[in-house]
Amino acid sequence: MKAVTIKNPADGYFNISNVTLRPIQAGEALVDMEYCGVCHTDLLIASGAQGEHPGRITGHEGVGIVREVAPDVTSVKPGDRVSVAWLYAGCGHCEYCEQGLENLCRNRHESGFDVDGAMAQQCIVKADWAVPVPAGLDPVKATSITCAGVTSYKALKEADTKPGDWVVIYGAGGLGNLALQFAKNVFNLKTIVIDINDEKLTLAKSMGADLTFNASNNDSPKFVHEHVTAGVSAAIVTAPAATVFDQAANVIKAHGTVVAVGMAAGNMQMSIAKMIVDGTRVKGTLTGTRHDLAEAFEYAAEGKVTSMTRLRRMKDINKIVDEMHAGKIQGRAVIDIKSEL
């Protein structure tokens, strides 16, 4: 079968390889892949920044149809449409898994990182971890929900807000755009979206952002406090820049929450005195659980959130890499794996 794999040595780009999968084992299912989105995390792994993974099949925004299941599998059956998300599987028996915090499992596996991912004509999955895609949800749109969607949804759940609260979203890209939609249409929040790209901010405004601000050469904390004097209840940081986290810490009101999502190098600067006096909370979140993904899928199926997608061919993968680095892609490029037949 055809698959998009990481080069040896890693150089930030991919090979299109012919790969033969092993037979499925107990607890597994074989999935005929339909679509797979291209995420910035795929590019990070392909660069070698997270270690060398030669020949690894990339992709963790996959949707496909179950072809075969092992004899002991009861959670899915042939013909079901399921997802292949970043969280490939947890151990299922540690303190985190037992508390429903499987995304924090110390022995978890991650698609396209330490196990083969979804950007191939077929994929082997742990059946109990392949979350079904609702019948009413476009499978192309579903790809983004498996990563950016569930990540932004989980971030808002971690923010612990109530309807009518103000939230500021740093970054108006794929994550930020979906965070905006969840904030407005699911959590009923008032929103400020901050970015350095006017085109993305215009899109955010058209999708319901109450306020937008270009922070290229301006003071975003000043803008926030001019419009929400007491500060916002939560800041969702999807932009991968350490300075943005510093700004977020300065716009939170007492007992507010900063939720760190964007993977930035460096350290966050925060006044210890302010954190103590104001009861400020800082949380990190990597992705959601299976339950979170199932919820996010349902909201998408109801039309409360929708992802911006454009179908591309597998042969275009390295062009997509260049376009993503250049900031030329709005939303998600999605590989049309069905077209590879």
Q: Say if residue 121 is in the same domain as residue 168.
A: no
pTM of the model as a whole: 0.94
The CATH number of the domain holding residue 275 is 3.40.50.720
Beta strands in the chain (DSSP E): 2-6, 14-18, 28-37, 62-69, 81-84, 87-89, 109-110, 122-126, 166-170, 190-195, 211-214, 232-237, 252-260, 281-284, 309-312, 332-336
Q: Say if residue 279 is in the same domain as residue 153.
A: yes
The arithmetic mean of pLDDT across residues 45-66, rounded, is 95
Tokens coding 210: 């109450």
Assigned domain for 271 exists? yes
What pLDDT shows up at residue 49?
87
What pLDDT shows up at residue 173?
87
Instruction: Specify whether the CB–CB gap between 321 and 43 falls below 8 A.
Output: yes
DSSP code of 25?
Answer: -
- As a whole number of angstroms, the distance between CA 18 and CA 259 comes to 41
pLDDT, one tens digit per residue, over 160-175 is 999 999 999 999 988 9
Q: Say if residue 79 is in the same domain as residue 119.
A: yes
Q: Say if residue 234 is in the same domain as residue 110.
A: no
- Comparing CA positions, the residue from 110, 25, 13 lying closest to residue 59 is 110
Tokens coding 154: 């989980």
Q: Say if residue 121 is in the same domain as residue 154.
A: no
Task: Give the ranges where the chain is alpha helix by DSSP (H).
Answer: 40-46, 95-98, 139-144, 150-159, 174-185, 198-206, 220-227, 242-249, 272-278, 290-301, 317-325
Instruction: Specify whether the CB–CB gap between 57 and 112 falls below 8 A.
Output: yes
144 has pLDDT over 90 = yes
Least confident window among 88-92, 168-172, 262-266: 262-266
- As a whole number of angstroms, the distance between CA 130 and CA 114 comes to 17
Instruction: Specify whether the CB–CB gap between 119 and 63 falls below 8 A.
Output: no
Q: Say if residue 20 is in the same domain as residue 47.
A: yes
**Torsion 103-106-109-114 (CA) sign:** positive
Instruction: Specify whether the CB–CB gap between 158 and 286 falls below 8 A.
Output: no
Q: Say if residue 313 is in the same domain as residue 256.
A: no
Which residues span the domain enclosing 225?
148-284
Mean pLDDT of the chain: 94
- Pairing type for strands 166-170 and 28-37 reads unpaired
Q: Say if residue 11 is in the same domain as residue 120.
A: yes
pLDDT, one tens digit per residue, over 268-308 is 888 888 889 999 999 999 899 999 999 999 999 999 999 99
Assigned domain for 116 exists? yes
The arithmetic mean of pLDDT across residues 181-197, rounded, is 97
Instruction: Specify whether the CB–CB gap between 300 and 149 falls below 8 A.
Output: yes
The arithmetic mean of pLDDT across residues 228-249, rounded, is 91
Query: Residues of 275-295 as b/e, b for ≥16 C-beta within 10 angstroms?
Result: eeeeebbbeebbbbbbebbbb
The CATH number of the domain holding residue 326 is 3.90.180.10
Q: Say if residue 162 is in the same domain as residue 279.
A: yes
Instruction: Kindly list the distances between the CA atom of residue 70 and the CA atoms of 7, 31, 76, 126, 164, in Å, as whole numbers in the listed order.
Output: 31, 12, 10, 10, 48
Domain-terminating residue out of 269, 284, 299? 284
- Comparing CA positions, the residue from 170, 324, 327 lying closest to residue 237 is 170
- As a whole number of angstroms, the distance between CA 104 and CA 145 comes to 19
Q: How many other CB atoms are there within 10 angstroms of residue 44's CB atom?
A: 15
Domain-terminating residue out of 252, 269, 284? 284
Q: Say if residue 98 is in the same domain as residue 214.
A: no
Q: Say if residue 126 is in the same domain as residue 55.
A: yes
**Residue 112 — pLDDT band, cuts 50, 70, 90?**
very high
Q: How many domains does the chain have?
A: 2
- As a whole number of angstroms, the distance between CA 240 and CA 170 comes to 9
